Amino acid sequence: MRRSKWQLAMACLLSVCLLVTVTGCGDTGTDAGKDAIKLGVILPLTGSEAMFGTMEKNAFEMAYEELKAAGKTTINGKEIKLVFEDDQGRQDVAKSATEKLVNQDKVALLSGGYSSACTNVIAGSAQTMNIPFVAVTGSADDITKKGWQWVFRGTAAPASKYTGALWDMMDNVIKSKTVAIIYENTDFGTSSAKGFRQECQKRGIQVVFDQHYESGAIDFKPMLANLKNTSPDLVFAVSYVMDAAMIVKQMKEIDFNSKFFVGGGAGYTMPEFKENAGDASEFVASTTLWVPGVTWPGAGDFFKKYTDKYTKEPDYHGAQAYATAYVLIDALNRAGDLSPAGIQKALKETDLMTVMGPIKFEDWEGYTNQTKPSTYVVQWQKGKLEVVWPEKVKSAAHVYPVPNWKER
Amino acid sequence: MELLSQTIICGILLGGMYALIAIGMTLIMGVMNIVNLAHGALVMVGMYVTYVCAQEFGVDPYLGMFVAMLVLFFLGCLIQKFMINRLVEVESILPENQVLLTVGIMLVLTEGIRLIFKSDYRSVVTSYSSDTLYFSGMAISVPMLTGFFIAMLFTFLLHLFLTRTDLGKSIRATAQDRDAAVYMGINASKITMITFGLGAALAAAGGSLLLPLFYLWPDIGHLFTAKSFIITILGGLGSTGGAIVGGLILGIAESLGATYISMGYKDVVGLVIFLLVLLFLPGGVRSLVKRWQA
Amino acid sequence: MNKIKKLNWLFALLVLLAAIAVPWVIKAPYHLHILILVMVWATIGTAWNLLGGYTGQVSFGHAAFFGVGAYAAGLLNLHYGLSPWWGMALGPVVAALAALPIGLICFRLRGPYFALAMLALGEIFRLMFTNLTEFTNGAKGVLIMPEITSKMFFYYVGLTVLVVTLLVTYLIVHSKIGYYLVSIREDQDAATSLGIPTTFYKNVALLPSAFFTGLAGAFYMNYVAFIDPNIVFNLSNVSVMVILVVMMGGVATTWGPTIGAGIYIALGEYFRATLGSANVLVFGILVCLIIMFMPNGIIGGLETLKQKFFRSGTGLPGGGNGEVLRS
C-alpha cells in the first residue's frame, strides 16, 4: 500500500513540474518583441511532408528579405516578424501550434498549412478565435466552403477546380469520348476525381475506368493492366510525387498507350518526377497552378533566385508560399488598424499581382474569400515542362495525340 | 488469361524481394523472440547507404548493396549489444518494453536520416532501370527479375550457412531453446548479437534490390515493417523456407487483390490473410509442412 | 492498513481538487489546451493499461477503438446533423461493441501473436474507413464547427472523463477481478489450471478498455473538430503512442499512464516549440533512454531508486535519508 502513496506523491510532484514546463513553453517568445507585428506560419518542418514544408519556409523567408529591402516590413516603427511553427504533418500538433501562436505569441494573423487535414484544423481554430488565416497550399474544397469569414485562400485552388484549363483544352482540342480516372485515396485525390467525374457527366463523356489506390505501392501493374483492357482515349491521374513516376514507368513497361495522359497536378509536375521516370515522362501532361515559365511578373525571377539561393528547384508550392508572403505583408501595410478585424478588412480588399497571378479574395459558387484560380495545362517535352494551354500564355505547342511508346 | 499470368508473375517477383527483407525479421524474431518495429527503418538506412554509394561514387546499386550489408551488419550488432541487450537482462513487468525500444530506435534512425538527407525523394536511375522483357503478351521488368533471383540466391546461401556451419547451427539452436543452448556452451549473447546484425544486413540487401525500380525517402520503412510481419507469421517464426513461401503468398495475394478487387483494397487482402493464418494456422506454413511430414 | 487506504483516497482527493483549481490559476488558453491533450492521452493510456498493463495483453490496435469512438461522434453530425456531443454517449458503446468480435478473434492468440493480430485489425479499420467513402467520407475526413469554444469547458469535460476512467479502472483492478487479471499476465497456464476462465476475464478487461478509449475518441473529435482515417486510426501516432505513454509512466500502476501522458505531451510540445527541425530526433533519443534505464517506466524506476536508497541508507551511519523520503 505504501507503493501507491508513493505514486501519488510523485504524481503531485510531476504535475507541478509539468505546469512549470508548460508555463515555460510559451514564455520564450512573449517578451522578445512587444513592438513587433508577428506573422505566424505553421508548416510541416519534420515528418513525411517536411520536404514541402521546408520549401515553403524558404520561399517565405526569401520574400520577407526582398520586402525588407524594399522597406515594407516596418509599419509605424513596428517591425513585421515571421514566426514559424512545425506541425509535423499531424493535425493535433497543428492545433497546438495554432493555440501557441495565437495565445502566447499574440500573432496578428496566421498562415501556412500544407496538408488538407492540418489546414482544416488551423482554419477551424482561426475561425473560432477570430484571427485571420491565409491558407497556402491546403486544397480541400471544404476549407473555403464553410462560409468562414476569417479564412482566406488565395494561392491554392479548391481541389475540384484544378482542371479549369484542361476542360477548355478538352472542348477545343482533345474531344475525348472515353476517359479513365485513377487517383490516390487522399482528400486531394478524391476531391479532384469527383470534380473531374462531374464535368465528364455534364459533357456526356463515358468514364470507362475509375479506381483509387493506396499511395506508396511498388507495383501498379495490376491496375494498369486492367486499365489497358478498357483502352480509353484519355487518362486522368491524381498522384502523389513518386507514385506518379511509378505509374508512367510501368505504363511504358506494359506498353499501354492512350492518346493523352494528363495528371491532376501534384506529382506530375515535380522535378523529382522527371528524374525518376526518365524518358517515360516525355509527353506526359498535367494540370497545374504554376510553372516557372508562366507569364506573371516575377515568376521567372523567383524561380532563378530560389534555385541560386537554395540550390534546389522550387515547384508550385514554393511559389504559393512566396506569393502568400507578398499578400500578407501587402495587407498589413494597407490595414488601417492592426487589430484582427482591421487586418481581415484589409485582406478582403486585396487586389495584388503576384507570381501566382492576381490575388483577390472573392465569394463565388459557395466559396468564401477564395481567389478564382488560373490553371494551366503543361506537358513534358524534351525534358522540359512547357505550358501548352491556355493558347494565350503557351510556351510550346501541344503534342496530341501522343505517339505510341514503341514508335518513339 | 494474359492478365492473370501477368498478375501472378508480378506477385511472385515482388514477393521474392519482400521475402528477403522478412527473412531478416524472422531470424531476429525467432532467436530473440521480440517484435522488431525498427526493421523497416533498418531497410531504409541500408537503402540510403546504397544510394550514397551510387550517387557519390558511381557504384552500381547491386554492388553498393554489399557495402550496405556490411554497414548494417555492424549497426545491427551495435544496436543489439548496447541497447536491446540491456533490456533482456533486467527484469520488467512486461517484456514488451523491448518493442517500445525498437520504436524509439526507429524514430531516431528515421529522423537522423531526415536531418542528413532532408525529406526529399531520391532515386537511383540506372541504364537498366526501365528495361523490360516481353514474353507472350506479358511484360516483365528486368530489375525486378534480377532482384528476385538475387534474393533467392541470398536465401539459399543463408540456408547453407544455417545448416552447414557451426555458427549457423548455434543460431538455430539458440532459436529453438535458448537455455538448452547455453547449457551446451553456446555464448547466447554473442549469438543474438550476430543474429541481429545478420537480420539487419539481409534487410539492407532486400531494400537495395528494390532501389533501381523504386525510390527512397526517410519514411519508407513503415511499408516494409508491416509487410515483414505478415510474411514472418505466414511462414512461421524463424523459418527461412517459410519466409519465402510467405513472401510469395503475400505478393501473389496482393497482386490478385489489386487486379480483381481494387488497388485500394490491396493491403486489406494481405491483412485478412494474415489474420486468417494467425487464427487457423498459428505456426504458419512451417507447421503445415511438419504436419504433412508426420 | 485501513488508515493507509484512507490516506490514499485523501491524496487522490487533494490531487483532484488541485486539478479542479488549475484553470483558475493558469488562464492562458494555450496551457489549458496542452492539459486537455494530456487528459485525452491519460484516458486512453489508463484504458490501455487495464488490458495491456494489468492483464498483460499488449494491444497494438487501440487506434481501432479510438477511431470508432471519434467517428461515431463525427458521423452522427455528418449524416444526421446531431450535435457531436451525442457521440460521447454513442462512441464508447460502439467501441465496446466493436471490441466484442475483436476479443473473440484475438484472445485465441497469445504474446507477440496477439500483439500482431491487434496491429493488423487496427490497420484493417483504417483501410476500411478510408475506402468506404459513402459512409465515412473517406480520406476527406469529417470537419465540424465546434459550438463551444471555451477552453475551460473542455478542460472540465476532459477531467471528468479522466476521473471516471481512473476510478472505474481502480475499482476493477482492486476487486477480485483484478487479481484474476494479474494472474493471467503472470502465468496464464497456471491461472487456467486454477479454474479461472481466462478468455472470459480477458474480455472483461477488454470491454471497459475499449469503452473508455472510445470515450476519449469522441471527446477528441469534439475538441479538435476534424478527423480523418489517417489521424485517428494511425498506427504510430495512436496505437504505438499510447503504449509509449503507459510504458514511460509506469505499466500496471494507477497513476502511471497519467504521469506518462503529462510528460510525453508536455515534453513533446516543449521540444517542438524550442528545438526546431531536430525535435522528433531528440524526442526519440529520450524515449530510448527512458526505456533503457527505466524499463518499468518512471514510477517503476523511482520505485527501484527508492529501494536502493533504503538498502544503502540502512548500512550507512547517516541513514536518516530514508526516513525523510518515507514521510
| DSSP result, B196-207 | HHHHHHHHHHHH
pLDDT at residue A133 tops 70: yes
Average pLDDT (B225-250) is 87
C108, C115, C240 ranked by CB distance to B103: nearest: C240
pLDDT at residue B248 tops 90: yes
Residue pair C141/C229 in contact (Cβ under 8 Å)? The answer is yes
A103, A117, A128 ranked by CB distance to C28: nearest: A103
Total tally of structural domains belonging to chain C: 1
Q: What is the pLDDT of residue C315?
A: 37
Which of A64-78, B49-63, C283-297 shows the lowest mean pLDDT across its residues?
C283-297
- The answer to whether position C95 is within a domain reads yes
Residue pLDDT, tens place only, B260-270: 888 888 888 88
Q: What is the pLDDT of residue C146?
A: 78
Q: What is the pLDDT of residue C317?
A: 36
Q: What is the pLDDT of residue A31?
A: 43
A28, A86, A90 ranked by CB distance to C237: nearest: A90
The pTM is what? 0.88
Collapsing DSSP to helix, strand or coil, C181 comes out as helix
pLDDT at residue C18 tops 60: yes
Question: What's the Cα-to-Cα distance from B14 to each of A379, B151, B158, B272, C270, rounded to whole Å?
Answer: 32, 10, 20, 19, 43
Question: What's the Cα-to-Cα distance from B226 to each of A202, A368, B261, C111, C327, rounded to whole Å?
Answer: 43, 42, 21, 18, 49
Nearest to A214 by CA among C138, B218, B7, C122: C138
Give, as one character, the DSSP assignment of residue A136: S
A46, A213, A255 ranked by CB distance to B263: nearest: A213
Q: What is the pLDDT of residue B108?
A: 92
Confidence of residue C155 (pLDDT cuts 50, 70, 90): very high
pLDDT at residue A123 tops 50: yes
Cβ-defined contact of B104 to C252 (cutoff 8 Å): no
Average pLDDT, chain B: 88
- Minimal CA separation from B97 to chain C, in Å: 7
Q: What is the pLDDT of residue C235?
A: 85
| DSSP result, A347-392 | HHT--EEETTEEE--EEETTEEEEPPPP-EEEEEETTEEEEEESGG
Residue pLDDT, tens place only, C165-214: 999 999 999 999 999 999 998 888 999 999 889 999 999 999 999 999 99
- Minimal CA separation from B62 to chain A, in Å: 18
**Distant-in-sequence, close-in-space partners of C252: CB < 8 Å, separation ≥ 6:** B93, B94, C49, C53, C54, C182, C185
What is the C-alpha to C-alpha distance for residues B168 and B91, in angstroms, rounded to an integer? 29
Which of A1-5, A37-41, B289-293, C19-23 shows the lowest mean pLDDT across its residues?
A1-5
Contacts with C251 from chain B: Cβ below 8 Å: 92-94, 97
| DSSP result, C250-299 | -TT-SSHHHHHHHHHHHHHHHHHHHHGGGHHHHHHHHHHHHHHH-TTHHH
Cell of B187: 555464448
Cell 497556402 belongs to A136
User: Is B40 an 8 Å CB contact of chain A?
Assistant: no
C138, C226, C274 ranked by CB distance to A185: nearest: C138
- The answer to whether position C87 is within a domain reads yes
pLDDT at residue C313 tops 70: no
**What class does CATH assign to A161-288+375-407?**
alpha beta
Cβ-defined contact of B6 to A254 (cutoff 8 Å): yes
Cβ-defined contact of C276 to A127 (cutoff 8 Å): no
Cβ-defined contact of B263 to A222 (cutoff 8 Å): yes
Average pLDDT (A296-300) is 88
pLDDT at residue A9 tops 60: no
| DSSP result, A299-323 | HHHHHHHHHHHHSS---HHHHHHHH
Residue pair A158/A144 in contact (Cβ under 8 Å)? The answer is yes
pLDDT at residue A310 tops 50: yes
Cβ-defined contact of C224 to A95 (cutoff 8 Å): yes
Cβ-defined contact of B258 to A254 (cutoff 8 Å): no
- Minimal CA separation from C157 to chain A, in Å: 18
- Minimal CA separation from A360 to chain B, in Å: 33
Q: Where are the domains of chain B?
A: 2-219
Best probe of the C interface among B81, B87, B94, by most C CBs < 10 A, is B94
pLDDT at residue C74 tops 80: yes
Confidence of residue C302 (pLDDT cuts 50, 70, 90): confident
Average pLDDT, chain A: 86
ipTM surpasses 0.95 = no
Average pLDDT (A293-307) is 89
Q: What is the pLDDT of residue C323?
A: 31
Confidence of residue A2 (pLDDT cuts 50, 70, 90): very low
User: Is A57 an 8 Å CB contact of chain C?
Assistant: no
Fold topology of A32-156+297-370: Rossmann fold (3.40.50)
Confidence of residue A7 (pLDDT cuts 50, 70, 90): low
Contacts with B35 from chain C: Cβ below 8 Å: 112, 115-116
Contacts with C267 from chain A: Cβ below 8 Å: 21
**Distant-in-sequence, close-in-space partners of C313: CB < 8 Å, separation ≥ 6:** C319, C320, C321, C322
A22, A93, A189 ranked by CB distance to C266: nearest: A22
User: Is B263 an 8 Å CB contact of chain A?
Assistant: yes
Confidence of residue A27 (pLDDT cuts 50, 70, 90): very low
Contacts with C255 from chain A: Cβ below 8 Å: 4, 7-8, 10-11
- Minimal CA separation from B72 to chain A, in Å: 23
Cβ-defined contact of B278 to C116 (cutoff 8 Å): yes
- By C-alpha distance, the chain B residue nearest A273 is B121
B97, B108, B275 ranked by CB distance to C295: nearest: B97
- The answer to whether position C247 is within a domain reads no
Cβ-defined contact of B121 to A280 (cutoff 8 Å): no
For chain C, percent of residues with pLDDT exceeding 70: 94
For chain A, which residues lie within 8 Å of any Cβ of chain B, measuring from their own Cβ? 46-51, 54, 185, 211-214, 216-223, 225-226, 229, 241-242, 245-246, 249-250, 252-255, 272, 275-276, 278-280, 312
Q: What is the pLDDT of residue A315?
A: 86
The pair phi, psi for residue A353, each rounded to 5°, is: -90, 125
Residue pLDDT, tens place only, B116-137: 988 888 888 888 877 888 877 7
Cβ-defined contact of C285 to B33 (cutoff 8 Å): no
Cβ-defined contact of B215 to A185 (cutoff 8 Å): no
What is the C-alpha to C-alpha distance for residues C52 and B212, in angstroms, rounded to an integer? 42
Cβ-defined contact of C272 to A9 (cutoff 8 Å): no
- By C-alpha distance, the chain B residue nearest A44 is B119
- By C-alpha distance, the chain A residue nearest C4 is A1
Q: What is the pLDDT of residue C320?
A: 34
3-state secondary structure A337-355: CCCHHHHHHHHHCCCEEEC
Residue pLDDT, tens place only, C203-236: 999 999 999 999 999 999 999 989 989 889 988 8
Average pLDDT (B64-76) is 95
Q: Where are the domains of chain A?
A: 32-156+297-370, 161-288+375-407
> Distance between alpha carbon C132 and the CA centroid of its chain, in Å?
28
Contacts with B141 from chain A: Cβ below 8 Å: 250, 253
The pair phi, psi for residue A226, each rounded to 5°, is: -60, -40
Q: Partners of A285 in the beta sheet?
A: A262, A379
User: Is B114 an 8 Å CB contact of chain A?
Assistant: yes
Residue pLDDT, tens place only, A47-66: 878 888 999 999 999 999 99
Query: What sections of C50-132 are H helices per DSSP?
Result: 63-80, 87-106, 111-131
Higher pLDDT: B4 or A13? It is: B4
User: Is A385 an 8 Å CB contact of chain C?
Assistant: no
Per-window interface: A 129-158 vs C, CB < 8 A: 129, 140, 142, 146
